[in-house]
Amino acid sequence: TMILGVNENEYLPHKHHLLASSICDATAIAPVAKIINEHFGIKLGYVTTLHPWLSYQNLMDGPSSSWSVPGEVYHHYALGRSAIGNIIPKPTSAMEAVFKVLPKLTKEIGSFSYRTPTQIIGSADLSFIVEKSATKKDLIKSFKDYQKNQKYQILKISNSPLVSMDYIGEEYSAIVDTRWLDIINSELIKIVLW
């Protein structure tokens, strides 16, 4: 599994013949988690993703049929409910995917998702407790340094009063919305990504 901005330097053409580019949530979360872990050390945390509806969801309430396992009907969450009229809580594999490309990152990070009644553009709410004392200024500087030196369009910093639809056509993997960045007691970092 390879995520640009995280582990593309580990690619060996003579050894790796099949690559997986992971899932959309992980391509946004992993580069940001890598930066925070390298500068401040992540001890534990929680990630909540807000994901637009997907094609296998229902327009009207009905059974939640598996897309990956044809014939299977999910019973453990409410994905069968109307995608256009509900915010639907569900499990997510976002952090499992992140751990594949950041194996040194602590596994003490939980994750949860809401499927939202939107057509496009997701968001993630990251809360990490870090080992080293952090300030907003230091954290934003670490993101800006990465943004300035990045090889690909991975990370973008924004302070504009935008909403999800404003990001349609954006080419970056993750946009850190500094309007919602907060640090409590120099150790709890909260970040909103688009």
Is residue 144 within 8 A of residue 119, CB to CB? The reply is no
Nearest-angstrom CA–CA distance, 124 and 79: 19
- Chain segment 24-59, per-residue pLDDT in tens: 899 999 999 999 999 999 999 999 999 998 887 888
Residue 77 confidence (pLDDT): 66
Task: Work out the average pLDDT over 66-86.
Answer: 78
Does residue 96 surpass a pLDDT of 90? Answer: yes
Give the residue from 180, 161, 158, 142 showing the smallest Cα distance to 50: 180
Please report, rounded to a whole number, the percentage of residues in the chain having pLDDT higher than 90. 66
CB neighbours of 190 closer than 8 A, spacing ≥ 6?
125, 126, 127, 180, 181, 182, 183, 184
Query: Using one digit for the tens of pLDDT, what is the confidence trace for 100-127?
Result: 999 988 778 999 999 999 989 999 999 9
- Whether 65 shows a pLDDT value over 90: the answer reads no
Backbone angles phi and psi of 66, in degrees to 5? -70, 135
Structure tokens at 184: 């409590």
Active-site residue (options: 2, 4, 24, 140): 24
> Looking at residue 60, what is its pLDDT?
82
Residue pair 80/64 in contact (Cβ under 8 Å)? The answer is yes
Residue 19: CA count within 13 A, CB half-sphere: 14
The reply to whether 24 belongs to the active site is yes
Residue 72: pLDDT band by 50, 70, 90 thresholds? confident
Q: pLDDT tens, 128-159?
A: 999 999 999 999 999 999 999 999 999 999 99
The residue to which tokens 């007691």 are assigned: 185
